[in-house]
Amino acid sequence: MLHSGYLSRIYSCLMNSRPISENPVTLFRTSSTVAGGGYRCVWGYKHPNGGEYGLKTNPERPSPLWPPDWVDERIRQEYIVVSETTDYFSIRPVLPDAYVEFAELAPEKDAIIQFANRHGWLGFPDCIHTADVDPVKARGLGGWIPVSQQGAVDGTALSSRYVVQGESLSRWKDEIHGYAAYFELWRAAKANDVNQLSKMIKRHKDVAFSFRWGKSGRSRSLGNHGLSFISAANPSENPPRHRDFDLDKFPAGSLIEPAKAFVIRKINSKLKDNLFVGVRFTEGRRDPFRVEAYVVVKTLCAAIWLQFSELLTGVRAYKTCEICGKLMDVSECARKASKRVHDSCSNRRRMARYRNKLSGR
């Protein structure tokens, strides 16, 4: 006989979800690749030419040349690499709450590693040389590249270097700062928070707007860091400069429309050249030739911005969890009004009550 609590959890899952066929057609389902052994941070150097090597013919010289492969060890950075314990990679759907989780992600190493372990790389790996990765333990995660130009003038390979792929930790932090700033700007615009918008956007004589944010994700914290403009076209220019929006049509004195315009332009720039949208057969059991829309996103970073774009269009929705205070996506909940806490938070609270009940006996 099933326990009543178990039945209630089944009922809750059924009532707060809906079949895939009932989802909005624009609620794209994308995938990401995640290392089975997780990720970690190492210190290393970016390898030139993206790790390419081999003879290349120069039209101006009769003999082939080796590409430059020296490593500038003055530029040492911290990179996120695949852990040597990884023996498989899993391709999984991008979680529906990735866009809100990324908006609240702290730009700190430990938090970034936890996010990568759950979602994977953002999608801009470099070929790096690092002494922190053991080639024996790493097995097939990297490779040996011949080193040809360490004093040799005839292109003879003198030695080899082990290289792996890694994503710059500083690049991760920059992406987090920028995304958090635009997410905050959108929230202020949706809430009609004029006071907050006045701190983030400045009007320049009705011919331009500037949006300023700092590395903390808050406006004005680092002066002009991240300054972005939306300007009107100058009629005297020939040809006139391209502009994204007609500022003359913006309501006079309002900062809400310029704020939304900044977010729209940023999303478009992040999605440009990073996704492909098409149609295909579903190949399902019931109707294998039903046609559906699909999207292929090149990077996790673009997938997050794509989810953000669906928030703008009203396809996605989020709320604040009443227990932990963090944001949660409720786009796929059939009863959004009744969804008040994360499932994980609800389970922890239920278990805490159960333990308290046992201890009180």
Domain span at 338: 317-355
Q: Is 217 helix (H, G, I), strand (E, B) or coil?
A: coil
Alpha helices in the chain (DSSP H): 4-15, 98-103, 109-119, 135-138, 169-190, 194-200, 256-271, 300-312, 343-359
Q: For 226-254, what is each residue's pLDDT tens digit?
A: 567 777 655 554 444 555 677 777 888 88
240 found inside a domain: yes
Q: Are 80 and 1 in contact (CB under 8 A)?
A: no
Q: Are 260 and 85 in contact (CB under 8 A)?
A: no
247 found inside a domain: yes
**How many domains does one find in the chain?**
3
Question: End of a domain among 240, 271, 302?
Answer: 271
Residues 265, 324 within the same domain: no
Residues 208, 336 within the same domain: no
71 found inside a domain: yes
Q: For 255-283, what is each residue's pLDDT tens digit?
A: 999 899 899 989 999 999 898 888 888 87
115 found inside a domain: no
* pLDDT of amino acid 9: 36
158 found inside a domain: yes
The confidence band for 21, taking pLDDT boundaries of 50, 70 and 90, is: very low
Task: Report how far residue 62's alpha carbon sits from residue 285's, in angstroms, rounded to the nearest whole number.
Answer: 61
Q: For 176-190, what is each residue's pLDDT tens digit?
A: 999 999 999 999 999
Question: End of a domain among 216, 244, 271?
Answer: 271
Predicted TM-score of the model (pTM): 0.76
Residues 94, 137 within the same domain: yes
Residues 131, 72 within the same domain: yes
The confidence band for 216, taking pLDDT boundaries of 50, 70 and 90, is: very low
44 found inside a domain: yes
Say if residue 40's pLDDT is above 70: yes
Terminal CA-to-CA distance of the chain, rounded, Å?
25
Residues 322, 205 within the same domain: no
Mean pLDDT of 141-162: 64
> Which residue's structure tokens are 């006079």?
252
307 found inside a domain: no
Residues 6+ apart with CB under 8 A from 91: 31, 32, 33, 34
Beta strands 89-93 and 201-204, pairing class: unpaired
Radius of gyration for the alpha carbons in the chain, expressed in angstroms and rounded: 25
Task: Report how far residue 342's alpha carbon sits from residue 101's, in angstroms, rounded to the nearest whole number.
Answer: 12
* pLDDT of amino acid 92: 86
The confidence band for 24, taking pLDDT boundaries of 50, 70 and 90, is: very low
Residues 148, 219 within the same domain: no
Residues 162, 73 within the same domain: yes
What is the rounded (10 degree) CA torsion for 112, 115, 119, 124? -10
Residues 146, 224 within the same domain: no
Residues 212, 266 within the same domain: yes
Residues 147, 225 within the same domain: no
Residues 141, 247 within the same domain: no
Task: Report how far residue 278's alpha carbon sits from residue 155's, in angstroms, rounded to the nearest whole number.
Answer: 47
What's at 95, amino acid-wise? L
Residues 327, 203 within the same domain: no
Question: End of a domain among 217, 243, 271?
Answer: 271
* Residue 338 tokens, joined: 């009744």
Say if residue 294's pLDDT is above 90: no
Task: Report how far residue 331's alpha carbon sits from residue 335's, in angstroms, rounded to the nearest whole number.
Answer: 10
339 found inside a domain: yes
